[in-house]
């Protein structure tokens, strides 16, 4: 989720926090030299960071230190983050006949990623393959691979799919907050396809053929299972967490889905946003939403702002913690093993709702320390940081050469 007045991206979390909630950046965990060394000596893949849409709304030069946001070059270096997937996010409302501006926006956001490399080629390089990521790491350059969040710009055309692959897109989140021409969405009560559309089923096959990862974050449960029936390659959930800890939140994955993902060989990239990992946070949001519904108002209206302000004063926002994020990781490991866990933070996409000790991309050593404190070995941690995701990406690349 991201805050965006045009669409669902104006989440309850982002909107409520925009009215004045201030997070505490206190560091409750003591980071050891070992944790810092692991973070700095390992490729760290974060499969979902919303820099392109962030700088479209409010431009900042992320090749230097920035006043806003969760990502910039100095903080990425401090955290050891060297392979952040840039999310080419297209609002769910950019769907349907005559809405070619979704295609245009996708190109503009890809352009913005290429511009980051052009401004600072000694710091950044667009990555098109696993080999690129590995080569950039050896050179000390931060890779910028790209994934498309919401398949609307495909616009029913396999030629568009191939075009975006040529431009550097390496995964597609099939849908976003609304059903589109490819798939039903977990957020949308209208299940027009009862899973994937006929074109969506064709698209999954074509993505396998060209070496494009299939991302099942955001899609309905039915679409998830249909995708697994069709795909010849492992899939990813680029920024999802577990429904076990957020009951009723279909955007997250339940235990049966995690087990199916494990059999597929795929990986779930854990989302850091408080509302993705904390039951208490989701309940806080639901109560605020109900108050607005009862008052006959919605976000963007003065009455809604008044309700949110009063609610916030009486009920401080319940931030999640690093420990809660680690609980999700522990549970995936218990269900299907260490080989199916990764990081999809949603930095720059969940507003100021991030847990203490995970406030921006400089905090990856804190994440590593948390895993060490829970008894994870260095080999296991490296799998979570990048090994599992890179395995899936390589398998997708290899399958494409065979198909």
**So what's the pLDDT on residue 13?**
37
Give the pLDDT confidence of 56-84 residue by residue, as tens digits.
Answer: 999 999 999 999 999 999 999 999 999 99
Residue-range definition of the domain harbouring residue 218:
13-20+27-278+319-402
Q: Answer whether residue 262 is part of any domain.
A: yes
Give 129-150 as a DSSP string. SHHHHHHHHHHT-EEE-EEEES
Is the four-CA dihedral 197, 198, 199, 205 of positive or negative sign? positive
Residue 382 lies in a domain: yes
Tell me the CATH number at 99.
3.20.20.140
**pLDDT of 209 above 50:** yes
Q: Is residue 296 part of a domain?
A: no
Mean pLDDT score of the chain: 93
Residue 171 has pLDDT above 50, yes or no: yes
pLDDT at 320 over 60: yes
Q: Tell me if 150 is assigned to some domain.
A: yes
**pTM for this entry:** 0.92
Domain count, the chain: 1
Q: Kindly state the average pLDDT of the residues 237-262.
A: 98
DSSP 239: E
Q: What angle do CA 91, 220, 199 make, to 5 degrees?
A: 75
pLDDT for 371-392, tens place per residue? 999 999 999 999 999 999 999 9
Residue with tokens 């926006």: 105
Q: Is residue 179 one of the residues assigned to a domain? A: yes
Contacts of 313 (CB under 8 A, 6+ apart): none
Is 299 among the domain residues?
Answer: no
């Amino acid at each position: 989720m991201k805050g965006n007045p045009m669409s669902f991206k104006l989440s309850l979390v982002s909107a409520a926090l925009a009215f004045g909630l201030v997070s505490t950046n206190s560091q409750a965990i003591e980071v050891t030299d070992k944790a810092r060394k692991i973070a700095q000596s390992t490729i760290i893949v974060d499969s979902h960071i919303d820099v392109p849409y962030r700088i479209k709304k409010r431009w900042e030069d992320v090749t230097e230190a920035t006043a806003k946001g969760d990502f910039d070059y100095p903080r990425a270096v401090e955290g050891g983050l060297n392979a952040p997937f840039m999310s080419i996010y297209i609002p769910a409302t950019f769907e349907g006949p005559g809405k070619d501006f979704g295609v245009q926006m996708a190109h503009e956001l890809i352009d913005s990623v290429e511009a980051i490399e052009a401004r600072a080629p000694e710091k950044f390089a667009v990555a098109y393959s696993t080999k690129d990521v590995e080569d950039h790491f050896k050179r000390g350059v931060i890779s910028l691979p790209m994934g498309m969040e919401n398949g609307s710009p495909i616009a029913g055309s396999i030629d568009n799919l191939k075009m975006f692959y040529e431009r550097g897109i390496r995964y597609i989140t099939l849908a976003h907050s609304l059903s589109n021409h490819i798939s039903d969405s977990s957020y949308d009560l209208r299940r027009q396809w009862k899973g994937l559309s006929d074109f969506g089923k064709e698209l999954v096959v074509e993505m396998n053929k060209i070496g494009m990862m299939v991302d099942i974050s955001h899609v309905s449960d039915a679409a998830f299972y249909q995708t697994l029936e069709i795909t010849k390659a492992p899939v990813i959930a680029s920024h999802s967490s577990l429904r076990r800890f957020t009951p009723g939140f279909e955007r997250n994955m339940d235990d049966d889905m995690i087990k199916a993902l494990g059999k597929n060989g795929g990986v779930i990239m854990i989302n850091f946003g408080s509302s993705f990992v904390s039951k208490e946070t989701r309940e806080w949001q639901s109560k605020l939403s109900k108050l607005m519904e009862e008052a006959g108002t919605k976000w963007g209206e003065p009455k809604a702002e008044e309700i949110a302000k009063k609610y916030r004063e009486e009920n401080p926002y319940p931030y999640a913690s690093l420990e809660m994020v680690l609980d999700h990781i522990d549970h995936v490991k218990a269900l299907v093993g260490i080989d199916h866990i990764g990081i999809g933070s949603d930095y720059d996409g969940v507003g100021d709702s991030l847990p203490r000790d995970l406030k921006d991309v400089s905090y990856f050593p804190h994440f590593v320390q948390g895993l060490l404190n829970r008894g994870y070995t260095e080999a296991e941690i490296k799998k979570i940081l990048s090994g599992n995701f890179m395995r899936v990406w390589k398998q997708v690349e290899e399958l494409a050469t065979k198909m």
